Amino acid sequence: MKFQSYHFTSVELQNRIRTLLADKSYSKERLKFLLSAIDLTSLEARDTHEKIKAVCHKAFSFSSIAEGMPNVAAVCFYPPFMATAKQELMDKGIALASVAGAFPSGQSPLFVKLHEIQYAIDEGAEEIDMVISRGTFLEGKYMEVMDEIQAIKIVCGDIHLKVILETGELQSPENIRKASELAILGGGDFLKTSTGKVQPAATLEAFLIMLDTIKEYYDATGKMIGIKAAGGISTYESAMDYYWLTKKILGDKWLNSSYFRIGASRLADNLVEAILAF
């Protein structure tokens, strides 16, 4: 499909966000939903197998804190930790995701990316979070970016592919829109804001552009594309803003962990505190 032209200034996006969030509200059930939509992550150079085990244990321990408290949707680690995490999560009902394909830079030859992604899948990954090469994109080589996503999706097959745009490096609303279009047309199952490794990471302005693109694609094709906000979201108040934008633009059909995720390491504890205090 061909997307429509899209021209919003940053000021116009901010004004739309203020309008969309003007009547937002909180509830215990919404806070629980946000907890259930988290991808609990550890993506540090100093990660160890013991740390990965600890994160996995935390991921399936939330439900023991209080009656009705949900566990998170998934955990996300580097490929070498897939086998360890798979063993820890056996029969826990929590998805196992891996960042793969030259995360976080995206700067490797395609064959290297494909081999790394296949390795992560072979080791147990049930979801793949890839990142586009921003350098290739900013050079205007849009077809090369889309071709890489298509090649990676072929390797993934039925495994969900989240395409990280790294919106903080894309420099303009027009570029975020174009990258969103390429990710969808390339076969991505999810659009994701950021790696969490650069600033700015997730922003409401970038998220709104991604939501608009998903909605236009859904209206034209009937196919739902998921959305994930990641990077710097640490409080339930900020997380709720992403919830409400999704609800207002895409509707309740997207408000489940199959189509809405938040990538966070600090947010989960903040949500638990808010739920217990509600």
Tens digit of each residue's pLDDT (9 = 90 or more) over 93-150: 999 999 999 999 999 999 999 999 999 999 999 999 999 999 999 999 999 999 999 9
Say if CB 203 and CB 168 are below 8 A apart.
yes
Average pLDDT over residues 6-34: 95
Q: Are 211 and 227 in contact (CB under 8 A)?
A: yes
**58 tagged catalytic:** no
Q: Where are the domains of the chain?
A: 10-277
Q: What percent of the chain has pLDDT over 70?
A: 100
What gap in Å lies between CA 23 and CA 45, rounded to an integer? 41
- Prior bond to 104 cis, omega within 30? yes
User: What local confidence, expressed as pLDDT, does residue 49 receive?
Assistant: 98
Dihedral sign for Cα atoms in the order 110, 115, 121, 124: negative
pLDDT at 264: 82
Q: Is 228 a catalytic residue?
A: yes
**CA gap 83, 20 in Å, rounded:** 43
Class of domain 10-277: alpha beta
How far apart CA 29 and CA 20 sit, in angstroms, is: 20
Quick one: pLDDT at residue 265? Answer: 79
Question: What are the two backbone dihedrals, phi and then psi, of residue 188, each rounded to the nearest 5 degrees?
Answer: -65, 140
- Do the beta carbons of residue 68 and residue 32 sit within 8 Å? yes
Position 192 scores a pLDDT of 98
Q: pLDDT of 164-223, one tens digit each?
A: 999 999 989 999 999 999 999 999 999 999 999 999 999 999 999 999 999 999 999 999
Secondary structure letter of residue 233 according to DSSP: -
* pLDDT number for residue 10: 92
Active site includes 241?
A: no
Catalytic residue among 129, 189, 212, 241: 129
Looking at 32, 113, 162, 192, which residue is catalytic?
192
Q: In this structure, what DSSP letter does residue 186 have?
A: T
Kindly name the residue from 113, 162, 178, 228 that is annotated as catalytic. 228
Report phi then psi at 164, rounded to 5.
-85, 125
